């Protein structure tokens, strides 16, 4: 089956203020039909305004709304209110499809090993941002767009399926996220719902800069440095292009984990 993105779509992207989420928000928007509504979430109002300006500049009659929200403390009520506010009285059935990209993510404290952090509040905060908020927003999204066909994308990582030293927060959070979306895909198998866990590859963004600077995993930090120095690290444009190819061709089974480097 092929996914035709040219529909009147309600598109929500988290972590849309910079990095991969910003690029995906713009490049996916470019494919949508006039009258689509793009909802952008992150903390930085400035970054969100930049993304909004890039989407508006596409000139294809899209509506763009931004919400500054901290996902490390967000609640289901906030998500409910945000979704209702974004619709502003428009019925969900006014759209042909609802599309969500759960992109926001943080890498956690990569200066620590898996046996260093016993403080449960640190883990709770990390998991609230990277797992609990994702699940909560996804539940509210499904409630709000019950009547519509849906595309649900989880921006995953190779770290969700393979262990890397210094990445106990990140690897465990991504693994939990992957499995949540696999369960979702299984439960929604008879519905018009496509779920994709997409691993973008190592990308030149703030996240890999942080890992390169702070990780106790010298091999990984050195690998990122080498890629940066030789300008061989993948860009947000490259991974978004591949993401769109994967999604539109839809050769994957709903719920699958597809990596940038997969055939
Ligand atoms: N870069 C890579 O090599 C790589 C590889 C595999 C997977 N990924 C995944 O790709 C996704 C995007 O990563 P990236 O590299 O683009 O990272 P990034 O440049 O650090 O961007 C992260 C995004 O998440 C948002 N965010 C972070 N903390 C937030 C919070 N507490 N509340 C709300 N939003 C928050 C940021 O916005 P604000 O700061 O404005 O809030 C930003 O828009 C992540 O899920 C990451 O795990 C990245």
- Domain total in the chain: 1
Q: If you measure from the C-alpha of residue 149 to the centroid of ligand 1, how many angstroms do you get, rounded to a whole number? A: 27
What domain range includes position 84? 9-202+236-256
Q: For 93-120, how does the pLDDT look when each residue is reduced to its tens digit (9 = 90+)?
A: 999 999 999 999 999 999 999 999 999 9
Residue 84 lies in a domain: yes
Q: If you measure from the C-alpha of residue 112 to the centroid of ligand 1, how many angstroms do you get, rounded to a whole number? A: 20
Predicted confidence (pLDDT) at residue 1 exceeds the cutoff of 80? no
Residue 226 lies in a domain: no
For the chain, the average pLDDT equals 98
Residue 157 lies in a domain: yes
Give the SS3 label for residue 39: strand
Q: For 165-216, how does the pLDDT look when each residue is reduced to its tens digit (9 = 90+)?
A: 999 999 999 999 999 999 999 999 999 999 999 999 999 999 999 999 999 9
Residue 195 lies in a domain: yes
β-partners of residue 65 are 39
Question: Quick one: 214 exposed, middle or buried, by C-beta within 10 A (0-12, 13-18, 19+)?
Answer: middle
User: Exposure string (b/e) for 84-114, b if CB count within 10 Å is 16 or more?
Assistant: eebbeeeeeeebbbbbbbbbbbbbbbbebee
β-partners of residue 153 are 101, 196
Q: What is the pLDDT of residue 159?
A: 98
The pLDDT confidence band at residue 263, using thresholds 50, 70 and 90, is: confident
Nearest residue to 238 via CA among 218, 260, 257, 254 = 260
| Mean pLDDT value of segment 5-33 | 98
Q: For 75-88, how does the pLDDT look when each residue is reduced to its tens digit (9 = 90+)?
A: 999 999 999 999 99
| Mean pLDDT value of segment 141-164 | 98
CATH number of domain containing 249? 3.40.50.720
Q: Distance from CA of residue 29 to its chain's centroid?
A: 15
Q: Which residues line ligand 1 (CB under 6 A)?
A: 15-21, 42-44, 47, 70-72, 103-106, 129, 155, 157, 199-200, 202-203, 205-208
Q: For 38-58, how does the pLDDT look when each residue is reduced to its tens digit (9 = 90+)?
A: 999 999 999 999 999 999 999
What is the distance between the alpha carbons of residues 173 and 160, in angstroms, rounded to a whole number?
A: 7
Residue 2 lies in a domain: no
Residue 164 lies in a domain: yes
Residue 183 lies in a domain: yes
Q: Are 32 and 7 in contact (CB under 8 A)?
A: yes
Residue 220 lies in a domain: no
């Amino acid at each position: 089956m092929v996914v035709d993105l040219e529909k009147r779509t309600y598109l929500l992207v988290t972590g849309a203020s910079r990095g991969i989420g910003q690029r995906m928000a713009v490049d996916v928007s470019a494919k949508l039909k006039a009258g689509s509504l793009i909802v952008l979430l992150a903390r930085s109002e400035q970054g969100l305004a930049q993304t909004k300006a890039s989407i508006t500049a596409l000139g294809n009659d899209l509506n763009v709304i931004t919400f500054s929200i901290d996902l490390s403390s967000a609640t289901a009520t906030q998500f409910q209110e945000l979704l209702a506010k974004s619709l502003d009285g428009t019925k969900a059935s006014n759209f042909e499809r609802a599309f969500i990209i759960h992109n926001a993510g943080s890498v956690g404290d990569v200066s620590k090993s898996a046996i260093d952090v016993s403080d449960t509040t640190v883990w709770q905060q990390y998991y609230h941002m990277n797992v609990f908020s994702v699940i909560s927003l996804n539940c509210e999204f499904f409630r709000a767009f019950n009547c519509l066909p849906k595309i649900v994308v989880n921006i995953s990582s190779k770290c969700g399926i393979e262990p890397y030293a210094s990445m106990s927060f990140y690897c465990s959070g991504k693994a939990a996220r992957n499995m949540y979306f696999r369960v979702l895909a299984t439960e929604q198998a008879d519905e018009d719902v496509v779920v994709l866990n997409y691993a973008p590859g190592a990308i030149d963004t703030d996240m890999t800069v942080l890992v390169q600077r702070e990780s106790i995993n010298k091999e990984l930090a050195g690998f990122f440095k080498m890629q940066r120095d030789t300008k061989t690290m993948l860009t947000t444009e490259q991974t978004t292009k591949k993401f769109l190819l994967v999604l539109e061709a839809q050769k994957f089974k709903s719920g699958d984990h597809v990596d940038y480097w997969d055939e």
